[in-house]
Structure 1
Amino acid sequence: MSSRMSSMFKRHPVLLSLSFAFIMIFCVFGYLFHWAFYNIERIEPGELISEKTSPSGEYTVRTYLNNGGATVSYAVLGVLFSNEKNNDSKHIYWQYEETAGEIHWIDEDTVNINGQKINVPGGKYDYRHP
């Protein structure tokens, strides 16, 4: 098999090099697209608005007011902290043009932030992808 690959590379070095370069560029753009439009973990918390602990005390949700600057409206970021795992955190809520951060625990595994129900610890809400 390796002799077949080496002979194919000898016959078509430009085609294989271009294919490899295209695949690498596609992977880099895919990662950047995910980072820019789907990953809310990169968002820095701003000013703390509210904080509520789950009924069992296993989780704490904090909401932060995020000031995007002069040209962007305020946004609210919700962060889930695991009280049993050394404050391991996960961003679970991101809403643009919002200033309130009302948190209500529905049950042990469901939290309501500004009217959005989120199952914890796996769920999340991002206004860009409802």
Structure 2
Amino acid sequence: MRTKAEAERNKEKKKIYKNILIMFGAVGLLFVGLIGYGVYWAFFDMNRLPTGDYLAEETSPDGNYTLKAYVADGGATTSYTIRGELVFNQKRKKAKNVYWNSKEDNADIKWIDSDTVVISGHSLDVPNDKFDFRNQ
């Protein structure tokens, strides 16, 4: 038969093991989260795209936005890519990348209305939509 002291020790051991398990689980979850964010940042973040050479630009009918297109040459082993940058003309906001497509060396930009632009056949509702060929 167990004594009261043995029962208390077993209870303390279980409590310690539970706390250690929770701590390892939290550290593991944090590690996986950091690795996931690192992969996103390194390979999918549109703010890290190459700048490229200026190609063309079109301003929206109401003058609120300008879409500038740039062509980027990835070198001998990759094809040309087009980067579309949305510039906010009326607001003091930083320009943002809204279009990134590979195997293109020309951009056909047409504004449908004040908030809808078609870039080489891809329709975007600005300022919220983005097109990135890596996510297709």
**TMscore range, shorter length:** 0.7 to 0.9
**Residue segments in structure 1 that go unaligned for 5+ positions in a row:** 1-6
Deviations 1:29-80 (A, max 9, x none): 2212322443212113210110011111100000000111222211000000
Q: Please give the TM-score of this superposition, normalised by the length of structure 1.
A: 0.85
- Say how many residue pairs are matched: 124
Given the alignment of the two structures, is residue 33 of structure 1 paired with residue 39 of structure 2, yes or no? yes
Local SS of the residue matching 2:111: strand
Q: Secondary structure at the match of 2:47?
A: coil
Q: CA RMSD in A?
A: 2.0
Q: Identify, as 1 or 2, the structure richer in helix.
A: 2
Q: State percent identity of aligned pairs.
A: 36
1:117 to 95, 112, 123: 123
Bigger CA drift: 106-115 or 24-33? Answer: 24-33
Letter in 1 for 2:98: I
Secondary structure of 2:39's partner? helix
Q: TM-score under structure 2 normalisation?
A: 0.81
CA–CA distance in structure 1, aligned partners of residues 113 and 127 of structure 2: 13
How many angstroms apart in 1 are the aligned matches of 2:63 and 2:13? Answer: 62
Aligned: 1:107 with 2:113: yes
How far apart are the structure 2 equivalents of 1:61 and 1:53? Answer: 6
Compared with structure 1, are the counterparts of its residues 56 and 17 closer, same or farther at alpha carbon in structure 2 (3 Å cutoff)? same
| Structure 2 residues without counterparts, runs of 5 or longer | 1-11
Instruction: Give the equivalent residue in structure 2 for 1:58.
Output: 64
* 1:69 alignment partner, SS class: coil
Contact 1:9 1:16 in 2 (8 A): no
Moved over 4 A (4+): 7-10
